[in-house]
Structure 1
Amino acid sequence: MKILLTFLTASALLAPVANAEISLISPADAKALIENPDASKRPIVLDTRGGYKDYFRGHLPTAHHINFDTLRGTHEAVPVQYLPDDITKALLVRAGANKDRTHVIYATGDVLPNDEILSATMVAHVLEKEGIKDIRILDGGLPAWKKAGYAATQEYFGNPAGLLPEKGAPEIAANIEDVLAEKDKAEVILVDARPLNEFIGEDDVWLRKGHIPGAVSFHWARLMEKDNTHKFKPFAEVKAELEKAGITPDKKIICYCGTSREGSLVRFYLKHVAGYPNVRLYEGAWKEYVWLKNKSLPTETTPRMAK
């Protein structure tokens, strides 16, 4: 497998994808891409849902199923950590990720507690970190596709082996050393994307309660439409809320959550919808933070007051 990956990356041409961008895409525009008469210009469509039976029940035409959670596993006792890079590359190559193609990523949307959009943003983060530059999240997900009158299919679709870029973008991720070194700087803000009850420690989930000292709470669902948790609110609608929380484009922003899915959505929104220039994701997340250094890293349960 390593030989195959070396060949795939080393033989890749370095020319950028035409009109490459990381952004949202409407169902109509996604449909037009999928139905392009030139097969070489059609997108790689990735259904990221964890429930494989949902894929069987119906999915976008040409959608290849990649369960988001296959990209994570337990490491040094900490569950759901991102896998080593060579394994991640192998999984993405198997899914057809290609440096020269557009990638349309989606899951299902619904009212809370449905959170499958987090699967889409997590996979988008992994692709971006591996150097893929053309990624579109289907705004509204499968429900918006159906609402637009477009048919789902039950036909399987397998992509040919992918072709990854030679150079990735590891800088979009932060590790615990980055967090500890940066969190107290005036120009840095930590954004906790979990629900408020977890932020203040009123939950039955986590080994230790609360949040990283100094972090601000901004639940990911505040960025999404109430009747479809896969559809993003326009930036103009949430700009004032973000500013009230101190989340402004002049800051260096590190997003985190419980396992990195919620944080991946907030990072995607701030970076690729709002256009903030410096946003990273702490991939280890709260699950790692509470375990490290013999559980000695400080926590707090008092929310920072909005400015």
Structure 2
Amino acid sequence: MKPLHTFVALLALWAPASQADIGLITPAEAKALIENPDAAKRPIVLDTRGGYKDYFRGHLPTAHHLNFDTLRGTDAGVPVQYLPEELTQALLLRAGAHKDRTHLLYATGAVLPNDEILSATMVAHVLEKAGIKDIRILDGGLPGWKAEGNPTTQHYFGNPTGVLPEKGAPEIAADITAVKAEKNQAGVILVDARPLNEFIGEDDVWLRKGHIPGAVSFHWARLMEKDNTHKFKPFSEVKAELEKAGITPDKKIICYCGTSREGSLVRFYLKHVAGYPNVRLYEGAWKEYVWLENQSLPAETTPPVQK
């Protein structure tokens, strides 16, 4: 019986990795995937950094550069809005996104104020919304990859044209209509992922100051390790902080920020690291909210309530 028990135990370890999933991957696991002898089983590696010269200086082997900001543009005067579906699909196909492959995303920048990890979670959101179900963010990013002695290259790499799923997942996003309709409902919580100074309106960035009334403040960096903002803290380390802010898995959660990158990280963490069941991203974000309806939507600058 002992050999059978051993086989069952090994099968249990193997099975989750064989299924499509969205979450984190360690540098060692990523390296093993990239070096798979079967090329068809290697991941689609996407370097999501906005700095193309950073890609030229060095990137993961087989990494295709997909600048996160090519997925956004000005719409009706509002900057950095997500592109229409047909344009997004064209860009994802050009990047090689494939319905049957694992997608490995990463960026760089080890400490704040460099926040390029947000480019990885934003691209992950766009892929997930397009229906891709197998997405892994490199935990620790390029700094973590290099720290383990793994190689980088300056050789360009381009994926063949991809194949997207027939059905996307638009339900992971919330628009302004949903935000206005749901923000005061019982069991719904809005989470503002920006730094506290922006939440209370002490900034020089935004057309209007403050936050959506009723939102709670939870800066995305609180979910990341201080010495490497590309490495996610274990859920056990932040569970109490999230609960103190009222961010619990029984709620319907809508995340937002300034332009939807910070919000994408909080949503990714809550949904795919912590396992919260109902988490959406308000893609329009604060930059849209402050402009709509002749700048008349309510805003407040009160500090978060200490619990």
Structure 1 gaps, min length 5: 1-16
User: Does residue 60 of the first structure (1) align with residue 60 of the second (2)?
Assistant: yes
1:61/1:152 contact within 8 Å kept = yes
The residue aligned with 2:292 is: 292
Q: For residue 267 of structure 2, what is the amino acid of its counterpart?
A: R
Distance across 2 between alignment mates of 1:109 and 1:140 = 10
> What aligned pairs does 1:66-81 form with structure 2 within 5 A after superposition?
66-81=66-81
SS of structure 2 residue aligned to 1:93: helix
The residue aligned with 1:244 is: 244
> What aligned pairs does 1:73-92 form with structure 2 within 5 A after superposition?
73-92=73-92
SS of structure 1 residue aligned to 2:239: helix
User: Does residue 274 of the first structure (1) align with residue 274 of the second (2)?
Assistant: yes
Distance across 2 between alignment mates of 1:117 and 1:70 = 16
SS of structure 2 residue aligned to 1:305: coil
Residue 110 of structure 1, CA deviation: 1.1
> What aligned pairs does 1:34-183 form with structure 2 within 5 A after superposition?
34-183=34-183
The residue aligned with 2:10 is: none
Residues 182-206 of structure 1, C-alpha deviations (whole Å, 9 max, x = no match):
0001200000000000000000000
Distance across 1 between alignment mates of 2:101 and 2:72 = 24
SS of structure 1 residue aligned to 2:40: helix
Distance across 1 between alignment mates of 2:166 and 2:249 = 30
Distance across 1 between alignment mates of 2:269 and 2:18 = 23
Distance across 2 between alignment mates of 1:245 and 1:197 = 17
Distance across 2 between alignment mates of 1:109 and 1:223 = 16
The residue aligned with 1:11 is: none
1:49/1:108 contact within 8 Å kept = yes
Distance across 1 between alignment mates of 2:145 and 2:204 = 36
Residue 121 of structure 1, CA deviation: 0.1
Distance across 2 between alignment mates of 1:67 and 1:275 = 28
User: Does residue 210 of the first structure (1) align with residue 218 of the second (2)?
Assistant: no
Distance across 2 between alignment mates of 1:180 and 1:238 = 29
Residue 109 of structure 1, CA deviation: 3.3
SS of structure 2 residue aligned to 1:100: coil
1:47/1:64 contact within 8 Å kept = yes
Q: For residue 254 of structure 1, what is the amino acid of its counterpart?
A: I
- Stretch moving more, 106-115 or 241-250: 106-115
Distance across 1 between alignment mates of 2:91 and 2:254 = 27
Q: For residue 281 of structure 1, what is the amino acid of its counterpart?
A: L
TM-score scaled to structure 1, two decimals? 0.94
Residue 231 of structure 1, CA deviation: 0.4
Distance across 1 between alignment mates of 2:58 and 2:258 = 30
The residue aligned with 1:191 is: 191
SS of structure 2 residue aligned to 1:157: coil
Residues 144-183 of structure 1, C-alpha deviations (whole Å, 9 max, x = no match):
0000000110000000000000000000000000000000
Q: For residue 196 of structure 2, what is the amino acid of its counterpart?
A: L
Q: For residue 246 of structure 1, what is the amino acid of its counterpart?
A: G
Distance across 1 between alignment mates of 2:176 and 2:239 = 29
Residue 18 of structure 1, CA deviation: 5.0
Residues 209-262 of structure 1, C-alpha deviations (whole Å, 9 max, x = no match):
000000000000000000001000000000000000000000000000000000
1:214/1:304 contact within 8 Å kept = no
Residue 303 of structure 1, CA deviation: 2.3
SS of structure 2 residue aligned to 1:262: helix
Distance across 1 between alignment mates of 2:228 and 2:80 = 26
RMSD of aligned Cα (Å): 0.9
Distance across 1 between alignment mates of 2:140 and 2:158 = 24
Distance across 2 between alignment mates of 1:162 and 1:306 = 48
User: Does residue 223 of the first structure (1) align with residue 200 of the second (2)?
Assistant: no
Distance across 2 between alignment mates of 1:285 and 1:186 = 22
- 4+ residue runs of structure 1 moved beyond 4 angstroms? none
The residue aligned with 2:12 is: none
How many matched pairs? 291
Distance across 1 between alignment mates of 2:109 and 2:29 = 18
